[in-house]
Amino acid sequence: MGIKIVPYQAVHEEAVESFNERLRDAGVAFQFFDRCSSDWLPDDVRAPVFRTYRLALDDEGVVRGAYALRCQDFWIKGGRQRVANYQLPLSEGICNPRFRPLGTRLLRSALREFPYLYSLGMGGIVQPLPKLLEASGFDLSLVPFFFRVLNGRRFLTEMMVLRQSKMRRFGAQLAAYSGLGPLGIHSFQRLCTQAVVDGRFTSSVVASLDGWLDEVWARTASDETSGAIRSSEVMNRVFPTDHESNIKMKICCSGEPIGYVVVRCTSMKGDAYFGDLRLGSIVDGWGAKEHVGQIVRLAAAHLKGLGADLIISNQSSRPWREALKSLGFLSFRSNFGLATSPKLTAALRASSGDGLEDCHFNRSDGDGPIHI
């Protein structure tokens, strides 16, 4: 049986529905998109960032696999390079041995179209997808995870990792209600905090990221910086005005714009990781390296004002990691993986003297801040 990989069109939507139904019947948790065009980052090759879908069809037009590509320009070695994020690859090989080789075929198809390819998140780097990517020559790493506790009692009683056994749950509740746990957490975070408040820096919530961001980007992008281009046109598509959960903040120094940050504050309900916590997240941001500490400080202060119990962030860039640590953020094992194709890996390493660790990746570079 032959397989051809084609762009997803409206005529295929019924076949995709049948494909998803077969996956559901086999107990597969993931589903492919039921519409051929994305509401978020619509498929438009003229746009600076867009998402497009591909389907694997057999000779009878039955959908046997699918994947999505988020396409945009990166700034690498002082120039632009079109890069794609490989998203939601699914095949019936998950549940039918007959189609087991299809996963590799989907990946090869994506690489032919976009040799500079990466995948982000993936549940870490030990799941089937990252293992397939590694076998195909991709470089695997983890985007570091950071957190800062703002409400120690709720953190101790709601974090699911502290409720996985009766003994652990009893110890966390005892620490929470005795007051010793929150006191210890906040004392330790204060000891780790080295950042200094600089009154010249201020923040304001804005509806969109306008021309001032382009001026900031032009000043701060350099040959040593690798990552997705963060112009106003790009970021306003990634964080559109009709998504009110994304809070966009303009950061100024002495009244002049020097960067931005995007945060979220979400009341979780029975989450597998965060229970019922009010979760703050630093999703994305940009600014000169010397300003990142103040950008993160203002983001954390805003989330505290919104009543967050806990703030989290995944950041690969060294200045952002150091800024989070200087503000008392603690690190924990990450399940947010990064896989880069051989060509993209080589380009990023050539661009950055310290390797992939100094490239700018966070949750905004993949599917977006979903689940938080």
- Evaluate if pTM is beyond 0.75: yes
Cβ contact 295:313 at 8 Å:
no
Q: Closest by alpha carbon to 195, among 309, 329, 310?
A: 329
For residue 324 the two structure tokens come to 């989070």
Mean pLDDT of the chain, nearest integer? 93
pLDDT higher than threshold 60 for residue 267: yes
Phi, psi of 197, rounded to the nearest 5 degrees:
-70, 125
Band (pLDDT 50/70/90 cuts) for residue 260 is very high
> How many residues are present in the chain?
372
Identify how many contiguous H helices and E strands the chain contains and give both numbers: 11, 15
What integer pLDDT is reported at residue 118 of this predicted model? 98
Q: Which one of 3.40.718.10, 3.40.1180.10, 3.40.630.30, 3.30.2130.10 gives the CATH number of domain 146-333?
A: 3.40.630.30
Does 3-114 match 146-333 in CATH topology?
yes
Lowest-pLDDT range, 159-168, 248-257, 268-277?
159-168
- Classify domain 3-114 by CATH architecture: 3-Layer(aba) Sandwich (3.40)
Cβ contact 319:354 at 8 Å:
no
**pLDDT tens for each residue of 83-111:** 999 999 999 998 888 899 999 999 999 99
Region at 75 (left for phi over 0; alpha for psi -120 to 50; beta for the rest): beta
- Torsion from C-alpha of 12, 17, 20, 25, nearest 10 degrees: -140
Angle at 290 between CA 285 and CA 291, to 5 degrees: 45
Domains in the chain: boundaries:
3-114, 146-333
